[in-house]
Structure 1
């Protein structure tokens, strides 16, 4: 591996004009296609093969209009008045007529005819049924429907437009998210000791993000791409792009300071640090691609899109960076009297001596009493992970939107006047009815679910508790009917999840009673099924990821215990990250500080996505840090000296990389979209814990405890596993040549 990358780095250095021209052409092509073809997003959550999705597909075939998106318009009268006042009845009637003329609207209910009035008479609710699904609505659909309510607003009514058709909005990236990039520039300048090197590092990362993200946006013309996917790819691609270039650049600068020729230094940096970049990137790519095993389309595209951005970041770091270093030539060599030059001299002078400098001092400290270090860090991480035991999952809806957004205001208004359940009604689909008795059979099913009305409004005898059932609707084909079931609880509450389970338990009885196939569907049921599948996939996915970590790291380090230690450390990091997310987003700790609009279940795909991304980042730090330790050990250092020596040379870069990751992810916590906010927060906490607690503290202590056994590999396994030489042991170490000044070009 190191030999191959050595040759690649050297070739890119000497053919820098050609390599640079190729990447410029690629960037130009991507930008041109984006300007001409464009992109689009679709936030529909589907789960092929589930009961709810299959039933919705059947409903779509029987009556496309019935399966279309629905919106709600709530009218509230001023204090002390009711919507039944003549002037308000007339205004609402005008709105109903105007809404019926809106593009793609198939039907609009009259609240006075359907008795969709609040118990106190202050509010009325109009349901707007579109002929198309939510993802097919025009971009101005919300504005057009809002404009149709002008008559009610002019009459003095409070009007709120919302519903499932408008429950999600696109994710906007603003200037606040660029703070992370500014912090990255400062960290790069301090770490590398050169504005030229820092600028070059950032340029490489931006090229990678532009190509990777541009390709993902272009793929939206043939794939279903959620609005969160590009933001996730941007966040991850920017972070890893900066880090990968940093590892190679810092190695190159150190070698230049030691007197190595620029061309040879670039090749060796590509062969050593570049090898670590390849395997670190590979772990991220495989983990993100592994999201496709869950079988949920939007999550598959999200994972593959982010993985593609990481792949581009690796390719750019291994090809374009050496080419740019060729243009820079010897100008990146630290000046002898500069801060960077003095630091490199101090590092070189400390080799083989007691630790007195930066990372070596920390490594010596945590390995002095390794057992105590291990116990303290493990216990602390387990305590952080305790809240994760109460993790609950749900998909985002209008209740998680910003408090001042129209979607959230409509959701809250419906909850106030009609109860939260009306924001997420369930549909009972009866398919295969006898046309002659379809209505009677549907009515019987409604009675079985909701019970028989009593003399008291809104109360029923028999049926399931805490539900209201609407009058069944037989579709035009005569063999299909739908029964709307409105729970008293909100879409994300556990009571609604339990109600779906109760309805499915009741289905066999209803099938025997009606002679039809009965299924529970609707967007709320689909969201519950998605969350259940994702929660069920957490453990298998964790086992796959941990197993992958063991295999990959066994190839990299040719050791049994080092991969096991790395995998267990990853699980501790994940547990601590999950615990922090639950504490903030579910329990509400420090929710105001982080701008969490509402507490409740965690976004259902956040844990598995966070696990995939954090796995890759954790293996980044593991490979970059431990490969340097193994490099010291391979070249003859004693086990504990190898640990301290690896910390001496790699810790500064790993700390810088972690700070960059942390700043980038933390800047995305400011986004209003709760999906990205939760993911960014979890990743920021995960990086903080994994880099500074697990990799920089726990790992050195464990390796010191294991001593030489850390690098033990059974002979049989040693013969089977390929020797990838990530540390560059096969690259001989010649005496540094006397270097003569070289031209910059």
Structure 2
């Protein structure tokens, strides 16, 4: 049997919150033009600042290095002592049929010349390529040759005139001491001064075939810059601090394009800029470019839902316009905040979509309540006042829940999470203020014309529409099958919980990044040299006295023994492919005399002038795999036993990811605990119930588990994509705020009907019908708004959008329309049980069923 529900008469206002809102609504509706004028002035003032918001956004995002960890200490030491090898290093990956050919030699020389301009301005510290390696080796050879010639001439009692030097070179060539291919260069080199030698060497390095290069160059060093098959080359570019927080990676790309044109390179030569700087910057740029499409689709979805909900054009247009104007104020506030905290493009993305969803929710609830008040016979102004008082309490509670959720993100030790929280913390209060002020003012000024250009917009849509009848049947099903419904929902949750708990996730920036120039470059490097060439593990320390000679910047005899023993043990660790250090700069151990003879540039890669040591450990397995984590554990065991070298810090991609994951999990439970306690206290005070807040939190968790499980099924099992490791925390924290809206809308309506004298059963069924249409429409709006993130080319936003969209949709339909009514009817009087506080609303019980 289907229960027929008739509209309940408007109840009187109860509670301190509603009384305060009633007074506020009275003030606002008495001066609606003033309200609109104030908003107009505020928006006019904010617009110039909002338009500058992009100026305070970081293009590199926030680091995943967790403060206080070994990876953070390693990162700090590398930044201080080895800035050329810090996160500010970018890699140019060049693919070509033959990177040793003349055209590619000229390309690398041309690119080096362009980069040299930035070196002179101090923006780039250094650039290293096969070309610079051959050039510098040639320069050093010429310098040593001239020194040797001068020594021999002096010993023979001859003068060191240019002519004498040239004759000495001729004799050395004739004796086979100088290769014939170097005769001309050597003649010019011994006759030139020091300043001219690099130029001579540069021309020779660009013109001479590297496969038969007459100057000795370390083969291991060449292999790090030229692929074994001769089809790829690397150029490393280290940006200095003078380049700012966001080094100009795009300038480097422009330099590459200019170099390609200058040497007439064909389409078979391609070059990419990669590395951490470029990967993050490209991902953020893609996200920024995608925003226009996502927002356009979101507005289209919202407008269609609003048209269907209101059955009128004017309220749909006014609602979207009001939220758009509120966004201008929020963006101006973020601009001010951005001068003191880190904000990213994702801050704006999340803020905009949350404001869209929540703002429409609030506007629909208030407008719908106004229409109900008008149908109950109240005049327009009085209807606006009462609608603001009753709907405003639900809106206020929902907004506080969202603010609590976003506020909890600021406590996370993981740097990238707080920037997301700032968007919600600023956006939600502003959009709530707009809904509580602009909407009532418009309702008073326009009256029933607010619903103009529509089809029967002031009819009883909650009870007379097809959806209203469907909701009545759903509520009746919840009444008749409450136990079965609760059990079915619990059973369905189990497999999704298993999937959620066991799914593999990653923070791999490459796997999660969109198709960009930097990703293509990384894939080229990984194909030719392996992932570890870009994402190695680092062991760094500032050794105690006695390990390094501060005068010569060389290892002492005891230090050489200690470092050699440490690197040998590291190289023997299962899972380690290669170890590079000052004792083995090219991967293989060197004799002590060769270690002492290393050039300053090679030595400084591993032993800084300030005495810091850097050891590069390349893993045999992908850096984000479980095998790599196990290898890093074994590396840590080795480092902990090497106290004679100092306090060794282990960093690098694998260690950062592992420690980031640990911090993420710890902060997840801290944030969930904080939000749960905050929401629980707020709802206990507002609703005077212990059971309803507990059930609300559990149902949010249920919708999250379902949404995460479905997202994993879609992206991992169907699309075979990586699952971002912070999806559960992002989804749960946001849904702890956003998902509260629908529960609060429903439960506050139940409470108001109970206060008006209805029994629990009638109040529950009546509330489902009264609020179901708003909740369903609000869920569609929120799911549509957040769900448009799946249109992003960034995997992270795609998964966020899918997870949030699914969670909101499930929460607003199945869970709120079936599960929640079933539990309300199952617990009856215990819903409002609150011991030792002021007596809760009297509940009139229906007879036994």
TM-score range, shorter chain: 0.7 to 0.9
**Structure 1 position 135 matched with structure 2 position 239:** no
Q: Which residue of 2 aligns with 1:61?
A: 80
Q: Which residue of 1 aligns with 2:533?
A: 422
**How big is the shift at 1:327?**
1.4
Decide whether aligned partners of structure 1 residues 105 and 491 sit closer, same or farther in structure 2, where only a CA change above 3 A counts.
farther
**How big is the shift at 1:236?**
0.8
**Structure 1 position 545 matched with structure 2 position 675:** yes
**How big is the shift at 1:86?**
5.0
Decide whether aligned partners of structure 1 residues 9 and 157 sit closer, same or farther in structure 2, where only a CA change above 3 A counts.
same
Deviations 1:3-53 (A, max 9, x none): 111111121111112211111122112212234686232213143222222
1:84 to 97, 100, 113: 100
**How big is the shift at 1:564?**
1.7
Decide whether aligned partners of structure 1 residues 420 and 205 sit closer, same or farther in structure 2, where only a CA change above 3 A counts.
same
Kept in 1, the 8 Å contact 2:310–2:457? The answer is no
Say which SS state the counterpart of residue 614 (structure 2) adopts.
strand
Say which SS state the counterpart of residue 222 (structure 1) adopts.
coil
Instruction: Trace 1:200-599 onto structure 2 (pairs within 5 A).
Output: 200-332=318-450, 338=456, 340-343=458-461, 346=464, 357-395=469-507, 397-403=509-515, 405-433=516-544, 434-436=547-549, 438=555, 451=568, 462-472=572-582, 473-510=605-642, 512-514=643-645, 516-522=646-652, 525-585=655-715, 587-590=716-719, 599=721
Decide whether aligned partners of structure 1 residues 440 and 366 sit closer, same or farther in structure 2, where only a CA change above 3 A counts.
farther
Kept in 1, the 8 Å contact 2:482–2:822? The answer is yes
Deviations 1:554-581 (A, max 9, x none): 2222112212211211111121122223
Q: Which residue of 1 aligns with 2:784?
A: 663
Say which SS state the counterpart of residue 669 (structure 1) adopts.
helix
Q: Which residue of 2 aligns with 1:743?
A: none
Decide whether aligned partners of structure 1 residues 560 and 254 sit closer, same or farther in structure 2, where only a CA change above 3 A counts.
same
Instruction: Trace 1:24-43 onto structure 2 (pairs within 5 A).
Output: 24-35=40-51, 39-42=55-58, 43=61
For 2:529 and 2:363, the matched residues in 1 are separated by 56
TM-score normalised by structure 2 residue count? 0.76
Decide whether aligned partners of structure 1 residues 640 and 531 sit closer, same or farther in structure 2, where only a CA change above 3 A counts.
same
Q: Which residue of 1 aligns with 2:11?
A: none
Q: Which residue of 2 aligns with 1:163?
A: 275
Q: Which has the larger radius of gyration?
A: 2
Decide whether aligned partners of structure 1 residues 37 and 230 sit closer, same or farther in structure 2, where only a CA change above 3 A counts.
closer
**How big is the shift at 1:2?**
0.2
Q: Which residue of 2 aligns with 1:99?
A: 115
Decide whether aligned partners of structure 1 residues 304 and 466 sit closer, same or farther in structure 2, where only a CA change above 3 A counts.
same
Q: Which residue of 1 aligns with 2:256?
A: 146
1:70 to 89, 110, 126: 89
**Structure 1 position 120 matched with structure 2 position 229:** yes
Q: Which residue of 2 aligns with 1:637?
A: 758
Decide whether aligned partners of structure 1 residues 143 and 233 sit closer, same or farther in structure 2, where only a CA change above 3 A counts.
same
**How big is the shift at 1:328?**
0.9
**Structure 1 position 628 matched with structure 2 position 722:** no
For 1:75 and 1:166, the matched residues in 2 are separated by 15
Decide whether aligned partners of structure 1 residues 157 and 191 sit closer, same or farther in structure 2, where only a CA change above 3 A counts.
closer
Say which SS state the counterpart of residue 478 (structure 1) adopts.
coil
For 1:311 and 1:414, the matched residues in 2 are separated by 47
Q: Which residue of 2 aligns with 1:684?
A: 805
1:700 to 818, 821, 842: 821
**How big is the shift at 1:68?**
5.2
Deviations 1:425-483 (A, max 9, x none): 2222121343326377786677556648xxxxxxx962342332223334543321212
Decide whether aligned partners of structure 1 residues 86 and 691 sit closer, same or farther in structure 2, where only a CA change above 3 A counts.
same
For 2:376 and 2:794, the matched residues in 1 are separated by 49
Kept in 2, the 8 Å contact 1:448–1:463? The answer is no
Decide whether aligned partners of structure 1 residues 528 and 147 sit closer, same or farther in structure 2, where only a CA change above 3 A counts.
farther
Say which SS state the counterpart of residue 812 (structure 2) adopts.
helix
**How big is the shift at 1:344?**
6.0
For 1:37 and 1:704, the matched residues in 2 are separated by 49
Instruction: Trace 1:177-192 onto structure 2 (pairs within 5 A).
Output: 177-192=295-310
Say which SS state the counterpart of residue 472 (structure 2) adopts.
helix
For 2:234 and 2:363, the matched residues in 1 are separated by 57
For 1:650 and 1:558, the matched residues in 2 are separated by 21
Decide whether aligned partners of structure 1 residues 641 and 520 sit closer, same or farther in structure 2, where only a CA change above 3 A counts.
same
For 1:187 and 1:85, the matched residues in 2 are separated by 62
For 1:461 and 1:106, the matched residues in 2 are separated by 30
Q: Which runs of 5+ in 2 are unaligned?
A: 1-16, 134-216, 583-604, 843-849
For 1:461 and 1:580, the matched residues in 2 are separated by 43
Deviations 1:626-660 (A, max 9, x none): 11112222222222211101111010000000010
Kept in 2, the 8 Å contact 1:243–1:660? The answer is yes
Decide whether aligned partners of structure 1 residues 438 and 97 sit closer, same or farther in structure 2, where only a CA change above 3 A counts.
farther
Q: Which residue of 1 aligns with 2:772?
A: 651
For 2:558 and 2:727, the matched residues in 1 are separated by 42
For 2:749 and 2:561, the matched residues in 1 are separated by 72
Q: Which residue of 2 aligns with 1:740?
A: none
Kept in 1, the 8 Å contact 2:357–2:781? The answer is yes
For 1:256 and 1:2, the matched residues in 2 are separated by 19
Q: Which residue of 2 aligns with 1:739?
A: none
Decide whether aligned partners of structure 1 residues 447 and 660 sit closer, same or farther in structure 2, where only a CA change above 3 A counts.
farther
Deviations 1:196-238 (A, max 9, x none): 2222222222222221133224422332112211111111111
Q: Which residue of 2 aligns with 1:732?
A: none
Kept in 2, the 8 Å contact 1:8–1:319? The answer is no
**How big is the shift at 1:710?**
1.8
- 18-27 or 464-473, which deviates more: 464-473
For 1:641 and 1:420, the matched residues in 2 are separated by 64
For 1:685 and 1:449, the matched residues in 2 are separated by 52
Say which SS state the counterpart of residue 411 (structure 2) adopts.
helix
**How big is the shift at 1:55?**
2.8
Decide whether aligned partners of structure 1 residues 443 and 688 sit closer, same or farther in structure 2, where only a CA change above 3 A counts.
farther
**How big is the shift at 1:260?**
0.6
Kept in 2, the 8 Å contact 1:93–1:110? The answer is no
- 56-65 or 314-323, which deviates more: 56-65
Deviations 1:300-336 (A, max 9, x none): 2321222210111111111122112221124247999
Decide whether aligned partners of structure 1 residues 413 and 38 sit closer, same or farther in structure 2, where only a CA change above 3 A counts.
closer
Kept in 2, the 8 Å contact 1:430–1:442? The answer is no
Decide whether aligned partners of structure 1 residues 341 and 504 sit closer, same or farther in structure 2, where only a CA change above 3 A counts.
same
For 1:214 and 1:491, the matched residues in 2 are separated by 41
- 107-116 or 310-319, which deviates more: 107-116
Kept in 1, the 8 Å contact 2:407–2:421? The answer is yes
**How big is the shift at 1:495?**
3.1
For 1:338 and 1:589, the matched residues in 2 are separated by 45
Decide whether aligned partners of structure 1 residues 237 and 37 sit closer, same or farther in structure 2, where only a CA change above 3 A counts.
closer
